[in-house]
Amino acid sequence: MAVLVTGGLGYIGSHTAVALIEKGIKVVICDDLSNSDINALDRIFKITNVRPKFHKTDLKDYKKTELIFKRNSIDAVIHFAGYKAVGESVEKPVMYYENNLLSTLNLLKAMKKFNVKNFVFSSSATVYKVSDIMPLKENFPLAQTNPYGRSKYFIEEILHDVCISDKNMNVAALRYFNPIGAHKSGLLGENPNGIPNNLMPFITKVAIGKFDKLKVFGNDYPTKDGTGVRDYIHVLDLAKGHICALEKLKEKPGFFVCNLGTGKGYSVLEIVKEFEKQSGVEIPYEITKRRPGDIAECYADCEKAEKELGFKAEYSLADMCRDSWNFQKNNPEGYKSVQ
Ligand code: UD1
């Protein structure tokens, strides 16, 4: 009896693997290492004293996907593996659809063959239609602005169809808001390749001296200080949300969708200020023009998560900033840093 964590050496996957192990659940990790580092496996071991079985597998290869199920007794899958850079997805839509859709289809095929009926999917708040009405509820209209977001939406639809066709199949599609923060130990955290697209990894790279300053993308939004407002959630809270989702699947809900956020919105400048407070490092910034495709505000309605998953985010923005900095400070070269 084990949970297969695909993309289990990535940012959210590795934290979730630790949370599962700490619950006494056996974990099998597969990852193609295309945007992660094998050293994360040692870090998981350092934290938990357990070395999960690891398969370096590209899920686009059906035969290799099947082998994971042949070699392990899997009873649930948490599917994180996927490409996730918005800009890149606009440039390379075929690569995004091929990778994100095919890997999911192969997993579903192998699950059918090996009679595995529980699936947790790493979806995103990016599936929601741009809206002036906040907070976002699960039943709000969906529409995406880029291939990355659409791949998440398409996968949700596929999973829904699979649940309709197979009454024993149970799926939780978790729509994440903006995960930041890192493991308390400073051993696991966000470690993007190249220039970070997202706010917090960029801030930590400025703090460590890799970049001179942060570009704040616009201060003319109709928000509290003109900068973009998002619902930042600690990655440890997010990891806990997956444990709650696995519990939920025991109730056999069929296809189940749920937001994972805090319900609170913070602006870019509030994040910068709190990060400076927690790290003691000044973050120079300049206001630049808006990033195409960005929206003013986005935060979650957390009622469904609370009612149906028994999930409530616990960590504060101070915790998130402190832990993000702790990881970056201890790992100036990411997972290549010696621990
Ligand atoms: C982005 C993606 C979203 C994805 C999510 C994953 C876009 C348009 N959206 O969301 O699809 O699911 O990441 O976490 O890319 N900001 C700056 N300077 C920076 C970086 C960001 O000012 O260097 C601002 C943005 O304008 C935004 C906020 O910080 O207001 C958060 O940005 P980001 O971390 O990229 O997340 P999202 O845009 O919410």
Q: Which atom of ligand 1 has the smallest separation from the CA of 146?
A: 11
pLDDT band at residue 194 using 50, 70 and 90 as cut-offs: confident
Interval 132-152: pLDDT, tens: 999 999 999 999 999 999 999
Q: What integer pLDDT is reported at residue 204 of this predicted model?
A: 98
Centre of ligand 1 to C-alpha 39, Å, is 27
Centre of ligand 1 to C-alpha 185, Å, is 26
pLDDT over threshold 80, residue 338: no
What's the chain's average pLDDT? 97
Interval 56-112: pLDDT, tens: 999 999 999 999 999 999 999 999 999 999 999 999 999 999 999 999 999 999 999
Q: What integer pLDDT is reported at residue 42 of this predicted model?
A: 97
148, 176, 266, 335: the active-site residue: 148
Interval 206-226: pLDDT, tens: 999 999 999 999 999 999 999
pLDDT band at residue 293 using 50, 70 and 90 as cut-offs: confident
Known catalytic membership, residue 148: yes
Q: What integer pLDDT is reported at residue 73 of this predicted model?
A: 97
| Closest to 79 measured CA to CA, from 39, 42, 116, 24 | 116
Cα angle value 116/121/124 (rounded, 5°) = 175
Centre of ligand 1 to C-alpha 176, Å, is 13
Centre of ligand 1 to C-alpha 270, Å, is 15
Atom 9 of ligand 1 has which residue's CA nearest to it?
A: 86
- Which of 90, 146, 178, 295 best tests ligand 1's pocket when mutated (most atoms within 8 Å of CB)? 178
Backbone φ, ψ for residue 138 (5° rounding): -60, -25
Interval 37-70: pLDDT, tens: 999 999 999 999 999 999 999 999 999 999 999 9
Q: What integer pLDDT is reported at residue 66 of this predicted model?
A: 98
- Which of 198, 271, 298 best tests ligand 1's pocket when mutated (most atoms within 8 Å of CB)? 198
Q: Buried (b) or exposed (e) across 109-122, using 16+ Cβ within 10 A?
A: ebbeeeebbbbbbb
**Mean pLDDT to the nearest integer, 216-239:** 98
> Is the pTM above the cut of 0.85?
yes
